[in-house]
């Protein structure tokens, strides 16, 4: 009987996860039933929400001990009993951390044959890019000429936010950790400027960078940076909350101290998940694919090699060790 490896979530982390939160298991590879496909995982997506699912998120999204670790993946169909998919098709879906996975057609996305490497379908031309697109357009109501600020600017979603906002003729200011990330964001991704939050309190540098104020803030981190950007908002600003990574490894909730600005400046703040409107997500993915084909999107990836490197890749990403999308190359 053929087997493959899966990675289980076995222990809740206190703070930053450690490798012993996970264990690798050899399990029998199931046969696809009617209407199902067997997929070989080529690449796994590593994302901040995974840490949130390991504790603290809504109960229905919280991972149970012993469960296979969650996560999107891309791979190749190796056996199909589904009319819409054939052997050799490149596909993307929620795989979990599995080397091989049996999936139903529902939620399984066939990838454009020219989209290479497959990891792009998880990053800038995938869920990360779609998250950026939906957050900017649907949640924040981005308009041409807006001043847009994005945190974790060198990360998977942040790097997409800056480029999409740039395509829409916005002035884009990134916030990232360290001079090298800031250089990357400006020189390679085309942001107008970038503020290094590791260089000290960002208030002054941010105020200079944004000029007459922020129209849109795309928030990936929460905490003190959210507070600092709120201080710089214009009347009628919109804040799309996509991540709160500053909270994920800590139980301490510092509290947002300038909530009064919401009223003083008629600010809108909204948390969102890209999956809550699949039609808009798919529209975004089509647009991103077009931009990528037109050469309008730059990207860098942080690739970790080998299926069993997934826990280390997650820990690296949660410490800000990634540029662009953090992925695991399985095959």
Q: What would the two tokens of residue 207 be?
A: 């105020």
**Nearer Cβ to its own copies (134/328):** 134
**Nearer Cβ to its own copies (216/269):** 269
Can you tell me whether residue 89 is helix, strand or coil? coil
Q: Where is 210: in which H helix or E strand?
A: helix 203-210
User: Smallest distance from the beta carbon of 257 to its own copies, in angstroms?
Assistant: 4
**Nearer Cβ to its own copies (58/64):** 58
Check residue 223 and report its DSSP letter. Answer: H
Q: Which residues of 278-302 are buried (b: 16+ CB within 10 A; e: fewer)?
A: eeebebbbebbbebbeeeebebbbb
User: Smallest distance from the beta carbon of 52 to its own copies, in angstroms?
Assistant: 8
**Nearer Cβ to its own copies (34/263):** 263
User: Smallest distance from the beta carbon of 193 to its own copies, in angstroms?
Assistant: 26
Nearest to 230 by CA among 268, 174, 186: 268
* Binding interface with its own copies (CB under 8 A): 56-58, 222, 226, 235, 241-244, 247, 253-273, 276
User: Smallest distance from the beta carbon of 138 to its own copies, in angstroms?
Assistant: 12
User: Smallest distance from the beta carbon of 223 to its own copies, in angstroms?
Assistant: 9
d(CA 171, CA 214): 10
**Nearer Cβ to its own copies (167/262):** 262
Q: Where is 329: in which H helix or E strand?
A: strand 325-329
213 conformational bin, left if phi > 0, alpha if psi -120 to 50, beta if neither: left
């Amino acid at each position: 009987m053929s087997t493959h490896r899966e990675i289980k979530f076995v222990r809740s982390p206190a703070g930053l996860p450690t490798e012993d939160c996970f264990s690798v298991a050899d399990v029998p590879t199931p046969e696809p039933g009617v209407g199902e496909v067997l997929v070989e995982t080529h690449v796994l997506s590593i994302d901040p929400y995974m840490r949130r699912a390991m504790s603290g998120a809504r109960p229905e999204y919280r991972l149970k001990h012993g469960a296979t670790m969650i996560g999107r993946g891309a791979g190749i169909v190796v056996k199909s009993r589904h009319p819409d998919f054939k052997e050799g098709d490149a596909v993307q879906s929620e795989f979990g951390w599995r080397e091989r996975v049996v999936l139903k057609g529902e939620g399984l996305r066939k990838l454009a044959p020219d989209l290479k490497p497959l990891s792009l379908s998880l990053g800038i031309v995938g869920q990360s890019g779609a998250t950026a697109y939906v957050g900017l357009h649907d949640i924040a109501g981005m308009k041409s000429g807006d001043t847009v600020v994005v945190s974790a600017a060198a990360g998977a979603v942040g790097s997409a936010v800056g480029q999409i906002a740039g395509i829409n003729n916005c002035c884009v200011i990134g916030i990232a950790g360290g001079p090298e990330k800031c250089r990357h964001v400006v020189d390679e991704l085309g942001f107008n400027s970038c503020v290094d939050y590791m260089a000290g309190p960002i208030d002054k540098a941010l105020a200079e960078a944004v000029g007459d104020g922020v129209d849109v803030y795309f928030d990936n981190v929460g905490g003190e940076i959210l507070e600092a950007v709120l201080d710089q908002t214009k009347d009628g600003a919109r804040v799309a909350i996509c991540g709160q990574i500053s909270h994920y490894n800590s139980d301490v909730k510092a509290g947002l101290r300038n909530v009064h600005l919401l009223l003083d400046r008629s600010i809108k703040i909204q948390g969102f998940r890209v999956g809550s409107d699949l039609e808009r997500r798919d529209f975004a993915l089509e647009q991103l694919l077009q931009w990528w084909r037109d050469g309008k999107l730059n990207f860098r990836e942080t690739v970790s090699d080998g299926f069993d490197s997934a826990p280390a890749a997650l820990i690296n990403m949660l410490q800000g060790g990634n540029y662009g999308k953090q992925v695991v190359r399985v095959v």
